Amino acid sequence: MPTEIKVPSVGESISEVEIGEWRKKVGDAVLEGETLAVLESEKATVDLPSPAAGTLTAIHKTTGQTAAVGEVIAVIDPSVLAGGTLGTTAAPTPPAAPAAPAAPDKVMPAAARVLAEAGVPASSATPTGPGGRLLKEDAQRAAASAAAPAKPAPPSQPAPQAPSPADPNVEIVRMSRLRRTVAARLVQAKSDMALLTTFNEVDMSTVMNLRKEVQETFQARHGIKLGFMSFFVKAVVEGLKLVPQLNAEIRGEDIVYKHFFDIGVAIGGGKGLVVPVLRNAERLSFAGIEKAIVEFAGRAKDGKLMPAELEGGSFTISNGGVYGSLLSTPIVNPPQSGVLGMHTIQERPVALNGQVVIRPMMYIALTYDHRIVDGKEAVTFLKRIKEVIENPSRLLLEA
């Protein structure tokens, strides 16, 4: 019995997806669990696994089309496995030639005259008389049908094609659903929020020396390297405790304060920017944070992040420094009220105790919704980040 392939639920608030790349075509053999297609939602890109082994016999939605959750988009025939090799199907039996219309048993004289005058063969008329006789009325209907002009077939609608650029050196590629959603949300943030960015700089010497000192032991114990992001996640949690407005959101005329710290970490995935969320980051160890981020990054690259992992963050950290960014103004991810931007570490001359010294410095930027966060709170938050990063022992002493 054929198996219908339906669009699965990919998130609580997602009702439809866009069909991405089909990994199989009609007639291909499919193993159970093998990826049939890629589904793109407004939050993530997910693989569609086959629920059964067999042969893909039909595809109802092509790449770029939209399908609702629960809609049938393909069909697999598992019966091809019985007594045969997966993916081999018997040659289709050619359809039988249509039978020629049966001639009537007897054509009445009046009917014969009508057919002769119209030049219509008796076989094209349908007899309605007793015993299969073809009557005059039958002949008249056949003659009238033959005389009527044939209805032209409706013109076939050409498949929509991407506009071809006049310049052959220009390539036009349709934006993915995820990319379109990211674009829309960024524009929404710009238009709906009173965004402002405040900057500070951090001396990374202490953290860098600490990492170097404990890296070998840390990696041997936890099986993962100690990076900078875990320090910043911990510092952000401390900052949010001090400035709860940055861990809140506006709903209508209300401010919703969140007593949990679900920190989103912006990652450049294969299909665009995604922000998986570290749930209850205040409870995670340094190793737990590093492992979660590495896992998120790997699955983002493969397009295997689940929509639930991208929902509900209360604050976001974006690390443009991994790409070499020296300074930027990140954009808030609605409905959150703030985002911290990390940047590349650069040795620069700074004044320290009345002397000019060279230190590995990082600019940090906080973009915030000025409707809920004032400048004083923004500066206080960044100063707290600076204090914790420059003196990580504060995390242990809760100072």
Instruction: Give the residue numbers marked as catalytic.
Output: 370, 374
Give me 241's structure tokens. Answer: 């405790």
Tell me the HSE value of 306 on the side-chain side, using a 13 A CA sphere: 7
Per residue, what are the HEC states of 96-146? CCCCCCCCCCEECHHHHHHHHHHCCCHHHCCCCCHHHEECHHHHHHHHHHH
Name beta bridge partners: 365: 199, 341
> Do the Cβ atoms of 324 and 363 come closer than 8 Å?
no
Query: What is the CA 90 to chain-centroid distance, rounded?
Result: 38
Measuring CA to CA, which residue among 52, 9, 20 is closest to residue 34? 52
Question: Under 8 Å CB-to-CB from 231, ≥6 apart: which residues?
Answer: 207, 286, 388, 389, 392
Residue with tokens 């506009």: 163
Query: What is the CA 39 to chain-centroid distance, rounded?
Result: 7
The SS3 of residue 234 is helix
Instruction: Give residue 337's identity as a one-letter amino acid code.
Output: S
CA–CA gap between residue 370 and residue 7 (Å, rounded):
41
The SS3 of residue 225 is coil
The SS3 of residue 189 is helix
Name beta bridge partners: 269: 272
CA–CA gap between residue 65 and residue 67 (Å, rounded):
7
Measuring CA to CA, which residue among 317, 334, 333 is closest to residue 261? 317
